[in-house]
Structure 1
Amino acid sequence: MLRLDDLALFVSTADHGSLSAAARKLDVSPAVASAALKRLEQQLEVRLFARSTRSLRLTPEGEQFLVHARNALTSLEEGQRQLAGGREDIAGVLQLSVPSDFGRNVLVPWLDDFQREHPRLAIRLHLSDRVADLFRQSVDIAIRYGEPEDSSLVALPLVPGNRRVLCAAPAYLERHGRPRQPEELSDHNCLLYQLGGRVHDRWTFSEGRREQVVAVTGNRVCDDADVVRRWALSGLGIIYKSWLDVAEDVRAGRLELVLPQYLGQATPLNLICAHRAQLSKPVRLLREFVQTRCATLLVGAPWS
């Protein structure tokens, strides 16, 4: 029978990419860690890692088994939580990955309030626009715009009705005027976002039943959505952003809506996890908390 401590050592080694780092994390000696990994491989009759003097990487068999090992450990943890029932403590470490702009400018202040309500809960925040690998990285949940490409992931809606909007700083609009229809964006400097090597330079709009896609250009492109928003605040061009990212800027007058009569692309915000066993009480409470706060941002949205 497989030992739980061997499975934990295997998962930790895969997460850290290092047997010695996993040993330190689990507070065991390198010799004990090496023996545990060897014992597990012997029981499974496969090599889980390809080793060299300088590197350690999962074999194809290791990649396949990692998903099952992680699920087994998570399932046992969930069983312990269920035994605790309503007495489940809101404590421990919650690791979440969030987009750079929404995370830095919207969520971070909210997390301050959330932790004041639950002072024994520690939060490890990963700010990145890259999609986190929830099976490989040390991340419990992710908050992301759009549906996950991997259909095996669990996506729970936070703000299903969110959309993108066009906006620019008052100074830019004073200098360059306002476009009256989407086609006129070709006469403006559009600040562009890049993800995974792809520049998002085709912006979608709808008016009634009519939908159109407009190709746009600009002199600035960045793979950090927060930087693109900061360029707009500096009056350097027009952006096409999630309403949740710019709602407070619009309310404060730092940005103004452009072509508000046109609906921008639907951009739902979801909470994503690898499997439902990860929906612990802290995760469920955080989801409810974020949903409530986001609802206040939707007040005054151009399509409402």
Structure 2
Amino acid sequence: MNKPFSHPRDASLDALAAFAKVAQHRSFSAAARELGVTPSALSHSIAQLESSMQLRLLHRTTRSVTPTGAGQLLLERLTPALADVRLALQDARDMGAMPTGRLRLNVPRQAARIVLAPILAAFHERCPQVELEIATDDRLLDIVEGGFDAGIRFGESLANGMVALPLAPVPRFIVVGTPAYLEAHGRPNTPEELTAHRCINRRFPSGAIYRWEFSQGERRIEVQTQGPLTLDDDVMIMNAALAGIGLAYIYEDMVTHALSRGELECMLADWCPPTEGFHLYYPGRRHQSPALRVLIELLTQNKRA
């Protein structure tokens, strides 16, 4: 027995979903196969929908099915709305479920250490059945294409269409050097004076040499430094600075202990404000897994702490 999807007077969710499938496939038979109903039941449901709306939504011939102007407009509005409904239903089903499976994250090396390391134990306590994979990579890449559930990047480098969650702590880059180096070479008082110093350069994964960035009020400065050493790893940069090879531009939290012990000194502090900060990001229209929700909750709690 062919059962229609909705009452003639009611543009139900089932009827609207049926219309969307037919309009997307441009075929009653293909849509019927996907929905698991007969073509005649589907045709009857669409006819009821059109009758209830008093509006033709599909042009039908023996060879083709195409949306009318009104049908195309309805389809464009329905497609994202139906996707949201499906996500809402899945989220509701997941609320009471124990997180399982794998959660894959792509993050810069420093974000893994600064942001993720403090909450790893709590995450595994909350999600003992989840395999958490953290790929540390300083390159900018497409997390969807790479098969990742989420990523962490600085806010200014996020792609469009992503949901972004600001994370704490907000890192700051500072200029540091050993007391012996500063005694021998002097202390820079402005960013421009760095060009006269031996600096430890940083090379990005793209191959570009990083230009040290500074700001004070509305003034922004980028300095192309020169020096005897170019590295792409923060730990090596820190160790090179501690060895007195030159000045380094590095995450402040990496050298906190060295600063407190007097092994390094900070310069140009008033030119080194906090950065825009790391953001957790993920596709806006993708289903948010229970494991990702737990990670977001823990990162949010850590931000408030």
Q: Same fold per TM (> 0.5)?
A: yes
Q: CA RMSD in A?
A: 3.6
2: CA distance, partners of 1:233 / 1:105: 21
SS at match of 1:108: helix
The code of the aligned residue for 2:284 comes to H
Q: Structure 1 residues 211 and 120 mapped into 2: Cα distance closer, same or farther (>3 Å)?
A: same
The match for 2:223 is: 214
Deviates more, 1:219-228 or 1:75-84: 75-84
Change (3 A) 1:168 1:144: farther
| 1:219 CA drift (Å) | 2.1
CA shift digits 1:163-207 (9 cap, x unpaired)? 432223455445544222222212222222222121112x23223
Contact preservation (8 Å) 1:140, 1:278 = no
Return the alpha-carbon distance in structure 2 between the equivalents of residues 247 and 74 of structure 1.
Answer: 46
SS of residue in 2 equivalent to 1:186: helix
Q: Deviations over 1:20-75 (max 9, x none)?
A: xxxxxxxxxxxxxxxxxxxxxxxxxxxxxxxxxxxxxxxxxxxxxxxxxxxx9999
Is 1:124 the equivalent of 2:164?
no
- State how far apart, in whole Å, the 2-side matches of 1:136 and 1:261 are: 41
In the TM superposition, residue 258 of structure 1 has moved relative to its aligned partner by 1.6
Query: Counterparts of 2:263 and 2:99 in 1: how far apart (Å)?
Result: 38
Q: 1:166 aligns with which of 171, 175, 184?
A: 175
Could you tell me which residue of structure 1 aligns to residue 282 of structure 2?
273
Contact 2:170–2:274 under 8 Å retained in 1: no
Whether 2:236 is the aligned partner of 1:231: answer: no
Aligned-partner SS, 2:133: strand
Amino acid at match of 1:215: Q
**1:97 corresponds to which residue?**
106
Alignment match, 2:207: 197
Q: Which runs of 5+ in 1 are unaligned?
A: 5-71, 297-304
**Superposed displacement of residue 111, structure 1:** 1.7
How far residue 278 of structure 1 moved from its aligned partner, in angstroms, is: 4.4
Change (3 A) 1:118 1:149: closer
Q: Measure, in 2, the Cα distance between the counterparts of 1:120 and 1:169.
A: 47
**Helix, strand or coil: the match of 1:199?**
coil
State whether residues 99 and 128 of structure 1, in contact with CA within 8 Å, keep that contact through their aligned partners in structure 2. Answer: yes
For the pair 1:84 / 2:94, whether they are aligned, the reply is yes
Secondary structure in structure 1 of the residue aligned to 2:124: helix
- With over 3 angstroms needed to count, the CA separation of the structure-2 counterparts of 1:285 and 1:149, relative to structure 1, is closer
User: Does the CA contact (< 8 Å) of 2:114 and 2:169 recur in 1?
Assistant: no
2:210 is aligned with what amino acid? H
Contact 1:132 1:142 in 2 (8 A): no
TM-superposed CA distance for 1:113, in Å, is: 4.2
- Once the two structures are TM-superposed, the CA of residue 134 in structure 1 deviates from its matched residue by 1.3
How far apart in 2 are the matches of 1:184 and 1:282? 49
TM superposition shift of 1:116: 3.4
Q: Distance in 2 between matches of 1:259 and 1:145?
A: 22
User: CA shift at 1:151, angstroms?
Assistant: 1.6
Q: What residue is the counterpart of 1:240 in the other structure? A: 249
1:116 partner SS: helix
Letter in 2 for 1:194: R
Task: Tell me how far apart the structure 1 counterparts of residues 228 and 240 of structure 2 sit (CA, whole Å).
Answer: 11
Alignment match, 1:262: 271
Q: Which has the larger displacement, 268-277 or 209-218?
A: 209-218
Check the 8 A contact 1:78/1:280 in 2, yes or no.
no
CA change 1:261–1:105 in 2 (3 A) is closer
| Cα distance between partner residues in 2 of 1:97 and 1:250 | 31
CA contact (8 A) 2:123 2:298 kept: yes
Structure 2 residue identity aligned to 1:260: A
Q: Does the 8 Å contact 1:182/1:214 carry over to 2?
A: yes
How many residue pairs get aligned? The number is 227
Residues 89-147 of structure 1 show CA distances to partners (whole Å, capped at 9, x for unaligned) of: 23322111111233246633542343234323321110110123212112111111232
Structure 2 alignment gaps of length 5 or more: 1-29, 35-81
CA distance in 1, matches of 2:164, 2:84: 18
The aligned residue for residue 4 of structure 2 is none
Which deviations, in whole Å up to 9, do the C-alpha atoms of 1:5-28 show, x marking residues without a partner? xxxxxxxxxxxxxxxxxxxxxxxx
State the AA in 2 paired with 1:126. Answer: A
Out of 139-148 and 100-109, give the one that drifted further: 100-109
